[in-house]
Structure 1
C-alpha cells in the first residue's frame, strides 16, 4: 500500500508540471486567488517560496499537483482532512523540507532501556487531557521564521509550562535567550539544536531567565542569533521552579507524563502529509527520521461515528503559526495500531523538566477536571515529593 501511495504522489507531482488547459484554468485561477488572499502576505510562505519562480502557470500547476495528491492522502489517513489550499500547499516536498529543517540537528533514538516507562501510581489515568484548554500554562503558538529554532521554542514552552503548573504563575520564557545562550551565536545558531540542551540551560539558570517581553524573538526575521546577552536585567524577575531534565520514549511514557505536564517530542514533519494537513487525526507518515522538536500538549479519543472504533490521538503544537493545521496544532494517532515509534515518530524521543514543587500544586494551578478512563487500569501519580517525574 505504501509503495502504491508514493507512486501516486510522484504521478501527482508530474501532473503539476504539465501544461494548464483552458478548461481547468478558471477553477485553478479561483483557487490561486483564494490561496493568495489567505497566505500571500504570510512571512513563512514568502520565505519558503523565495526560490520559486512566480509565473502564474507554475503556481497553477502546483495547485493542481497538490489537489491530485488529496485522494491518496485521504485514503492513507481516513480520520484527517487535507487541502490543496493550505499554507504550504504551493511548495514541493523538497522545498518544504528545505524550509522546515535543512541542516537541522536530529536527536538519536533512545533505546527502550533508556526510557522511563514507569507505572504511574495512585489512580486511573485520565481519559483525555488538553493543557491548552485546561490551564493557562502553555505559551501561545509560535512561528520560527527564518531561524530553525523549533528546539528552542519547544524547550522554552516546556519549561514555562512546568514552572506554571508548579506555581500557578503563567510565564512565557524568551526563546531568543535560549537560542542565544545555548549556541555560539551567528547564522550557525539557526541551523538547529536540541531541546534537551535548551531545557538544561534554563533549569541551571533559575534566577537569570528572561521572559519573551524582556528579550523578544528576533532570529525569525534575521536568520541569525546574537551572542548571549547580559541577562542581569532579568535577574530575580522569575524564580524558575523546574527541576532536572528527563528523557524517555514510548507511548505509555508519553501518556503517563502528560498527566502532569506537556512533553517535548521529535516528529517527522517534512512530508506531504504535514504540508497539506488541514485538520483531524493524522495516522500515517513516511518512515523517516524525526526532524523537528514539538510540544505534545495532550491526548484524547475521537468518536468517528457509524459504528467505527474510536480513534486515540496525541495533540501536538507546531512552530508554524496559528494559520496552519488546527490553529497551529496537529493531532497524531496513538496506540498499538500505529507502530513502535508512534505516528510520525512522535514517541521516539521524549523529554521534559521535572516539576520542582509537589504535583498537587500543579493540579491546583490548572482547571483540570479528571475524567477516568475505565478501559485503563494504570493509575495516576499523586506523589508529593519535592521533585517529581
Structure 2
C-alpha cells in the first residue's frame, strides 16, 4: 500500500427536522412535532465535532476546511443567530480556508426566505433552495409546503442579498408529468437566473410513501425527451453540465459536491451523517453517526452512547470501485495522479479493467488522464461493476 496524500477536507452538518415528511424523501428527516431544541442541538453538533477531532487526531496536522454543507431536513428552520453560533464554533475548532464555500439548504417558504440576509451575515456564502416544481398541483403531490410565488420570491431575494452563489433544486419525471410540463418548469427556473441548477429525475426509493403507494410516472420515452430537450435549453442559457445532475454558469460549480466526487475527505456531524477520512499511513475510513435525534441528543445530555454509530475501514480491494463511482459522476477528465494519491494503490490494481473499459469504448485515456465517454455514461453501471472486488 502506497502512502496516501490526504485530500481536501469538507464538513457536512445534518439538521434532521422538517415541517412535514415529503412522500419521495428517503433522507434522515423527521417531521417537527414541537419546537426545535436549537441551542441544545448546536451544542451537541460542536461536541460531536470535538469527538471527531480527538478520535482522529485532526488537530495534530490540521487541514483547513475546504467547504461546509448544512443539509437536512430543513436547516432554514434554525435561526440566523443559531447558524452564526454554529459556524463560529466550527471555526474555533477547525481553520477555514480563506475562500471557503458554506452552503445551506433552505425551503422557499416566506418565513425562511425572510431569514436569508441573516444567514448571509452569519457566514453562509451559498443557499440551495428546494423548489422541486413551480406547478401547484405537482407541489401538492410532492408534499411541498410552498407555492410558486414563494419559490420565485426566494430566488429573487437570493439575488438581492449578495450571496456568492445560490442553487435551485428542481425535479423532473414527476407523477403524471408531461414533457411540456417538465420543460416549462425548467424554463421558469432558467428565467430566475440562478448561478447553479440541480436538475434531477425523481426516483422511487424504498421506505418512502411513494414506494408503498407508487404514483404514475412518465415512461422511458418521455423521460428521455425531457432530459434531451432540457439539456439543450440549459446549454443555450449558458449552463454547463459538470456532474450527472449539476449544471452551473462557468465558475459556479458547487465546491462541496466537487470534493465529494473527487474522492475528497469530509467529516459528518449531526444525526445519521456520514464521513470519509484518509490518513497518511494508508488507512481510509467511513463513519456514520447516531441516526435518531433522540439518541443523538441523549449522547449530549448524559452520554448514554457516543455520537459515533459505526466506523469501517475501506479495504484496498474496494477502493477502485469507490474512487471511480465518485469520479465518473463528473464530466471532467480524471487525473491519473488522483487515483494514486487518494487510494494508495498502484495502477497495477486496475490496469486490466482499464484496458477492458477502453476496448469497450467506455473510457478514453491519455498520458495523464482518463475520460468517460458518452457510451460509458450510458453503460455506467456496467463500467463501475467492472471495478468491484470479486466476492
Which structure exhibits the higher relative contact order, with contacts defined as CA atoms closer than 8 Å and separated by 6 or more residues?
1
TM over 0.5: no
**TM-score, normalization by structure 1:** 0.24
In proportion to residue count, which structure has more strand? 2
